[in-house]
């Protein structure tokens, strides 16, 4: 029997209902903040990710679904959506007038990763990108939106972990201090870190190896080596978050796994996901638009893993709300046509209703209703047709009653299963 490809799953039932609820909440909250949706293709040219996420990142190095298409193009199934949104915004000249431009997206991403809890090879992200404003206030606006989104979903005890990764101008000072620190204890770091200290020293801070994390004790901190403007920016953001009541903590080892960040970087971790699993992450990327060939436009954004968020919600809130439809069972040929007509009236009135169209015995239909978890069954046979009624069976209690057909819509709308 054919199976889905490893790391890629089918979504249906209770889990998909959480996805849908999350997506609806996102659209409502983001719409309120003036963000508009953008949808970009799943396939992008390889260069888009090499030049943004970065050649030294794990994503570009070893996790991309990359292939040559029939026309000989090197393409990638997007591992994230920020680069694609930037590519699209440049291509369609959406960032020309120095106006703030606000986008959100909901879509699949692909990374060839090792499977763990909440980690898949095809996963979903909901993200928001805000272009054109370099102020800490624009970050506060975006984080407030994120905070409302998570709060409206019912998540309350999340803490934002923040850091500043500085700018290309301020980084050499940090790199020098950090390389000197590393050299003093080089033998305690893993092979990967020895490579990272040459190519991208910030990545050492983020090594998953426990021995390396222990060796980092007392390491030089990026925020002590910031240029003046970046330091002011970072301080102001902390004031804003405090004033707005957004719970945060500073994490000097937070550097993120993608290369495009400048100044603010942040993540939210959830203990429900096991160690080291971030529910979301993001930050400022003021140089990326220009770097990908666009105008000099600053930007800030984040993306949340939808699969992980659905999993946390399931743990915190249980099953997603699922209004089960009622089931209308016609008995006999004449009743079948009348049932179609009645169902149409009910559907048009907004009632959720499934229609049994197989014909045949009541017993078979009732067995299916039980298996499908249907709570309210409406039976329309010859007797009911004569009397203008429906026999209604409440499955949970086994109670049975008779309703006038004319009251079916209002009574179904009022029921609570
Ligand atoms: P990221 O940290 O690579 O950032 O991914 C963001 C979120 O996507 C993660 O926190 C996680 O919830 C989810 N995620 C990542 N990989 C997987 C996976 N294999 N399975 C399930 N969920 C996963 C970015 O992608 C940036 N584009 C975020 C951003 C937007 N920065 C600025 N704007």
Q: Edge-to-edge, what's the strand order for the sheet holding 43-45? A: 43-45, 74-77, 65-68
In the beta sheet, which residues pair with residue 378? 328, 392
Ligand 1, atom 9, residue with closest C-alpha: 280
pLDDT higher than threshold 60 for residue 410: yes
- Ligand 1: distance of its center to the CA of 65 in Å? 16
- Ligand 1: distance of its center to the CA of 70 in Å? 30
- Ligand 1: distance of its center to the CA of 302 in Å? 8
Domains of the chain: residue spans and CATH: 13-170+226-317 (3.30.930.10), 326-416 (3.40.50.800)
Residue 197 banded pLDDT, cuts 50, 70, 90: very high
pLDDT higher than threshold 80 for residue 124: yes
pLDDT higher than threshold 60 for residue 416: no
Supply the Cα-derived Rg of the chain in whole angstroms.
27
pLDDT in tens, 329-346: 999 999 999 999 999 999
3-class DSSP state for residue 170?
A: coil
Residue 310: the pLDDT is: 95
Ligand 1, atom 1, residue with closest C-alpha: 281
Answer with the residue of higher pLDDT: 109 or 200: 109
Candidates 65, 80, 274: which one to mutate for ligand 1, based on the most atoms within 8 Å of Cβ?
80
pLDDT higher than threshold 70 for residue 128: yes
Give yes or no for a contact between 220 and 204, defined as CB atoms under 8 angstroms apart.
Answer: no
Give yes or no for a contact between 384 and 390, defined as CB atoms under 8 angstroms apart.
Answer: yes
The pairing of beta strand 101-110 with beta strand 122-131 = antiparallel
pLDDT in tens, 258-307: 999 999 999 998 777 765 678 999 999 999 999 999 999 999 999 999 99
Tell me if 301 CB under 6 Å of ligand 1: yes
> Residue 256 CA: which ligand 1 atom is closest?
2
Tell me if 311 CB under 6 Å of ligand 1: no
Tell me if 282 CB under 6 Å of ligand 1: yes
- Ligand 1: distance of its center to the CA of 382 in Å? 59
């Amino acid at each position: 029997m054919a199976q889905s490809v490893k790391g890629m799953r089918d979504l249906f039932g209770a889990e998909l209902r959480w996805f849908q609820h999350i997506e609806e909440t996102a659209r409502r909250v983001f719409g309120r903040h003036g963000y508009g949706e953008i949808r970009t293709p799943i396939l992008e040219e390889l260069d888009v990710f090499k030049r943004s996420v970065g050649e030294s990142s794990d994503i570009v190095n070893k996790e991309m679904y990359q292939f040559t298409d029939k026309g000989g193009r090197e393409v990638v199934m997007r591992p994230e959506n920020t680069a694609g949104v930037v590519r699209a915004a440049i291509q369609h000249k959406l960032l020309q007038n120095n106006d703030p431009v606000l986008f959100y997206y909901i879509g699949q991403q692909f990374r060839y990763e090792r499977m763990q809890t909440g980690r898949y090879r095809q996963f979903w992200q909901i993200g928001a990108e805000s272009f054109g404003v370099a102020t800490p206030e624009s970050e506060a606006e975006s984080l407030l939106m994120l905070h409302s989104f998570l709060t409206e979903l019912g998540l309350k005890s999340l803490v934002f972990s923040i850091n500043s990764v500085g700018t290309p101008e301020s980084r050499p000072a940090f790199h020098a201090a950090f390389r000197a620190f590393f050299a003093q204890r080089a033998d305690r770091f893993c092979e990967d870190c020895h490579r990272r200290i040459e190519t991208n020293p910030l990545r050492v801070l983020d090594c998953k190896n426990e021995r390396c994390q222990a060796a980092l004790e007392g390491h030089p901190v990026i925020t002590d080596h910031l240029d003046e403007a970046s330091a002011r920016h970072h301080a102001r953001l902390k004031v804003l978050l405090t004033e707005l009541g957004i719970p945060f903590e500073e994490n000097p080892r937070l550097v993120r796994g993608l290369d495009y960040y400048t100044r603010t970087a942040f993540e939210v971790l959830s203990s429900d996901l096991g160690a080291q699993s971030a529910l979301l992450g993001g930050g400022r990327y003021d140089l990326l638009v220009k770097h990908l060939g666009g105008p000099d436009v600053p930007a800030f954004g984040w993306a949340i893993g939808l699969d992980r968020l659905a999993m946390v919600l399931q743990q915190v809130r249980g099953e997603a709300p699922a209004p089960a439809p009622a089931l209308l069972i016609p008995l006999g040929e004449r009743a079948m046509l009348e049932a179609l007509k009645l169902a149409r009236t009910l559907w048009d009135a907004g009632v959720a209703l499934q229609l049994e169209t197989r014909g045949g015995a009541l017993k078979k239909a009732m067995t299916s209703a039980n298996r499908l978890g249907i709570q309210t069954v409406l039976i329309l046979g010859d007797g009911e047709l004569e009397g203008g009624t429906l026999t209604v069976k409440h499955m949970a209690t086994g109670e049975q009653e008779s309703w006038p057909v004319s009251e079916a819509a209002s009574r179904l709308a009022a029921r609570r299963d």
